[in-house]
Amino acid sequence: MASVVLVTGCSAGGIGAALCEEFAAQGCQVYATARNPAKMAGFSHSRIEKLPLDVTSDEDVKRVVEHIVGKEGKIDIVVNNAGTGAAGALLDQDMDTVRQAFDINTFAVLRVCRSVLPIMAGRKQGLFVNVGSVVGDTPVPWNGLYSATKAATHMISEVLSMECRPFNISVMNVVPGSVRSNIANNMTQKFVLPENSLYSAFIPNIMKRINASQTEHSMPAAKFAKAVVSKALSRKPPLRFTAGGNSTIFAIFRWLPRVFVFGYLWRIYSKKM
């Protein structure tokens, strides 16, 4: 029987959409979701069904989960991929932006997992795939809020990996490096320097950081998705899986003295341009 997969954050051109395509290519029944269904265009597989979902809404999450279970009788894999960027100096972020970033990037992981847990626990099987980021381990200037949300997501994944053991449910913390997507364009459109900001001289550095994940060294989303899905559908998915451009250097950063790493990263993202 085909695995049933729920993926959040599936707008065209992003990691979520690529994951949907690859899961479907491997024979899974996939439910692709996004707040705006019109942005989920171009899927090539008939095994992908599109559903509207606002991951910040308890009622919306419950509605989608009940719809899938009503049709399929189960959910085998949940991919918590929905996310939002928040570029700029950490203390330039207003509290509404802070709350929204944590609600989408972090609290939604708990919201979706909590809704699906009883279904998986009843069958004594399932997999939660939570998408973090290399900057959740090693933060970079001008992206601090995003880093904080992903650091929390990593911790949630690690705790869930223990607390889901009684129900034979696995957790896979995906930690992307640079992957080609629409994230830089989305952050550029959203970025506004506050009028009273003390960081106006660093706008070129902020823009450099926004575009850092979208270079010739970035991994194509389809290639990244193929690697992630292969691990997710394996007999024993790993607790942590990293892939993408610059993932090796960020892995090294984790083992180096933090003072050295932060000094190095600050030099890169504080130079006059």
**How much is the pLDDT for 273?**
62
Q: Which residues are catalytic?
A: 146, 150
Predicted confidence (pLDDT) at residue 1 exceeds the cutoff of 90: no
What confidence category does residue 93 fall into, taking pLDDT thresholds of 50, 70 and 90? very high
| Spatial separation of the C-alpha atoms in residues 238 and 241, rounded to whole Å | 6
CA distances from 198 to 96, 112, 132, 225 (A): 20, 38, 30, 40
What is the percent of the chain with per-residue pLDDT over 70, rounded to a whole number?
A: 100
**How much is the pLDDT for 47?**
96
Residue with tokens 């990263």: 265
**How much is the pLDDT for 87?**
94
Residue pLDDT, tens place only, 188-202: 888 999 999 999 999
Residue pLDDT, tens place only, 37-77: 999 988 999 999 999 999 999 999 999 999 999 999 999 99
Domains of the chain are 4-268 (3.40.50.720)
**How much is the pLDDT for 182?**
86
The radius of gyration computed from the CA coordinates of the chain, to the nearest angstrom, equals 18
Helix or strand (DSSP H, E) at 229: helix 221-232
Residue pLDDT, tens place only, 228-268: 999 999 999 999 999 999 999 999 999 999 999 999 999 99
Q: Could you tell me the strand order of the sheet in which 48-52 lies? A: 48-52, 29-34, 4-7, 77-80, 126-131, 169-176, 240-243
Helix axis angle, 95-102 relative to 144-163, nearest 10°?
Answer: 30
100-137 in b/e form (b: 16+ CB < 10 A) is bbbbbbbbbbebbbebbbebbeeeeebbbbbbbbbbbb
Predicted confidence (pLDDT) at residue 23 exceeds the cutoff of 90: yes
